Amino acid sequence: MKRRIGVCRALDTFRYFTLWKTFLQGIGYEVVLSGPTNRNTIETGSRIAPAELCLPTKVFLGHVIELAKKVDVLCIPRIVCRRTAKDLFFGCPKSLALPDMTRALIPTLPSTVELIIDERKSSEAGSFHRLAQDLGVNSGIWRDALQNARIANKEFLPENLSDYSFRSRKESIQETDSENSLLIGVVGHPYLLYDRELSLDLLDKLCKAGAKAIVPDGKGNSLVQKVPKELLTNWIFETELIEGAMGLVEQKQIKGLLLASSFACGTSAVTNEVIRRLVKQRRPSMPVLTILLDEHTAEAGLMTRLESFVDLIRLRTKQ
């Protein structure tokens, strides 16, 4: 009987799930993914988390508790530093300590292993090799498992982990009837945008408010080179947001930009300001709205803000 290893449907799982799942299956484990976030997940995580933690991290803790009794071992990522082209970028400051924090806050955890990605010290392949060794796999099968995982992950989209009807990645802007559709770009971490409970159905609500939400396609790898160096961050996922935002701003059909963040996210406070400055330089008249989400955000208030934002843009486009 295969041992069961748990992966939380939160944080960077929305970027790397297929990579992790295919690798772990390839070395002989049965992967158990926690269910979609619900209100109980949020409340459970929030009860044990320090108040200064961001909402997605609290939700991660809720998923850990959900999985704890269902698996033999829990896999917790620690993304410290990744190399992009010739530059090194760091992960989220709070997620750097995610395994330590999780064990400290939930002492009744089952056995845990860490996937430590720190390309200052070793390659990604070396990180997966160590993970395989920690899981008791000492043969060379990990190499084939990693190769297959990398191939599989090329087809993965963050929304695969949600039941969203929203599918902006499959709709090119050119195919949209821009005369009848108000296009608004939406920028935010995948674990926020594509978790329906966490985002309070933000993308669907924007559509109900009368706009079509367009998210970055994740293919603007060269766009960041157009951003002034002094405005770049040293955080890999925040740079990803800047890159995505600039790709949207360059599309003239997009009339507004919505920045979705979670309350207490220190990196997004910097990143959102960088994006606002870049928008002011390139499209001074483009409206920008920042939405901060936490466990107390009310759906009615969110809907009111989105409707007001859409109405404002419509008025501007008619002038």
CB–CB of 202/229 below 8 Å?
Answer: no
The whole-number pLDDT of residue 163 equals 57
Distance between CA 220 and CA 246 in Å, rounded? 9
**Tokens at 304, concatenated:** 């009111």
Q: Does 173 score more than 50 pLDDT?
A: no
Higher pLDDT, 37 or 169: 37
pLDDT band at 20; cut points 50, 70, 90: very high
Residue 16 has pLDDT above 60, yes or no: yes
d(CA 81, CA 96): 9
Instruction: Tell me the one-letter amino acid at 115.
Output: L
pLDDT of 246 strictly over 90: no
Asked whether the beta carbons of 112 and 74 are under 8 A apart, the reply is yes
pLDDT at res. 26: 92
Q: Reply yes or no on whether the pLDDT at 120 is more than 70.
A: yes
Per-residue exposure over 266-281, b if at least 16 CB sit within 10 Å of its own CB, e if not: ebbeebbebbeebbee
Domains of the chain: 4-154 (3.40.50), 159-318 (3.40.50)
d(CA 186, CA 159): 14
* Whole-number Å distance between alpha carbons of 124 and 220: 22
Among residues 127, 113, 41, the alpha carbon closest in space to that of 80 is found at: 127
For residue 295, name the pLDDT band (cuts at 50, 70, 90): confident
- Entry pTM: 0.85
Tell me: pLDDT of 22 over 90: yes
Whole-number Å distance between alpha carbons of 257 and 316: 14
Tens of pLDDT, residues 131-160: 999 998 888 899 999 999 999 888 877 777
What is the spatial distance between Cα 163 and Cα 173, in angstroms, rounded to a whole number? 23
**Longest alpha-carbon distance in the chain:** 68
Non-local (6+) Cβ contacts of 318 within 8 A are none
Average pLDDT, the chain: 83
Residue with tokens 């594509």: 194
User: How far apart are alpha carbons 131 and 113 in whole angstroms?
Assistant: 7
Is the per-residue pLDDT at 216 higher than 80?
A: yes
Task: Give the pLDDT score at 24.
Answer: 94
pLDDT tens digits, 50-84: 888 888 999 999 999 999 889 999 999 998 888 77
Give 301-311 pLDDT, tens digit per residue.
Answer: 888 889 888 98
